[in-house]
């Protein structure tokens, strides 16, 4: 692929990644916990990868023929974000000092699964890729459209990994010694998730 096409795609993609949303909120929460930043970010990346694979597989045409599937996915994703957000509002995150190996393994799996859910169940991520990727695909190139989508998708995933890790590490350094700030930021993150969930639901009405 031409470097100009790759750079143009990255310029659009990075703007999306740099826009605070549910992914940012989740990375910040992982930073507060301290030990699970990389695990949480991996979950977020896997969720984005699922969306990219769906685009590469041509799921967009399926959603166009059966819009009820998109509605169902939107409601499911909104419900998940709403549950996460309300939980954070009622029980804000606290600084954890537990070091048990078994407990750490369980928590790491939970952070990974929740990360996949946060981004993988977000229909806006899937719709973004449907709108973002196709304009940069050239059917007459030697590479197949599927390969081109995957290549551009990997660039997007790399940007996600760098930005979300930076957000999580910054939260860890700035908040780990400030328990009051931890509660405030955690409630803000929860409120952001609730707001996004409500926007998703209202968009279906």
Residues 63-102: tens digit of each pLDDT: 556 667 667 766 776 776 687 778 777 876 555 554 444 4
**195: pLDDT confidence band, cut at 50, 70 and 90?**
confident
Region for residue 117 given its phi and psi (left: phi exceeds 0; alpha: psi -120 to 50; beta: otherwise): alpha
Structure confidence at residue 150 (pLDDT): 85
CB 203 within 8 A of CB 100: no
Q: How far apart are CA 143 and CA 23, in angstroms?
A: 31
Average pLDDT over residues 19-25: 80
Helix or strand or coil: residue 22? helix
Q: Which residues of 52-61 are buried (b: 16+ CB within 10 A; e: fewer)?
A: bebbbeebbe
At 115-149, the pLDDT tens digits run 898 887 776 677 677 766 766 777 666 777 778 88
Average pLDDT over residues 51-59: 77
Query: Which of these ranges, 3-12, 14-23, 87-96, has the smallest mean pLDDT?
Result: 87-96
Count the alpha carbons within 13 Å of 101 in the hemisphere toward its beta carbon.
0
């Amino acid at each position: 692929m031409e470097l100009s096409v790759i750079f143009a795609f990255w310029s659009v993609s990075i703007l999306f990644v740099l826009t605070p949303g549910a992914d940012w909120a989740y990375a910040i929460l992982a930073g507060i916990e301290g030990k699970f930043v990389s695990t949480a970010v991996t979950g977020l990346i896997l969720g984005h990868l699922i969306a990219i694979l769906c685009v590469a597989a041509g799921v967009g045409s399926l959603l166009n023929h059966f819009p009820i599937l998109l509605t169902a996915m939107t409601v499911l994703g909104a419900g998940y974000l709403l549950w996460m957000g309300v939980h954070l509002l009622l029980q804000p995150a606290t600084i954890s000092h537990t070091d048990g190996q078994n407990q750490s393994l369980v928590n790491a799996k939970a952070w990974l699964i929740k990360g996949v859910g946060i981004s993988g169940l977000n229909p806006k991520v899937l719709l973004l890729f449907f709108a973002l990727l196709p304009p940069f695909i050239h059917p007459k190139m030697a590479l197949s459209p599927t390969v081109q989508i995957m290549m551009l998708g990997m660039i997007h995933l790399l940007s996600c990994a760098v930005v979300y890790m930076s957000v999580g590490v910054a939260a860890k350094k700035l908040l780990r010694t400030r328990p009051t700030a931890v509660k405030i930021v955690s409630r803000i993150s929860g409120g952001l998730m609730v707001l996004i969930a409500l926007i998703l639901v209202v968009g279906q009405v």
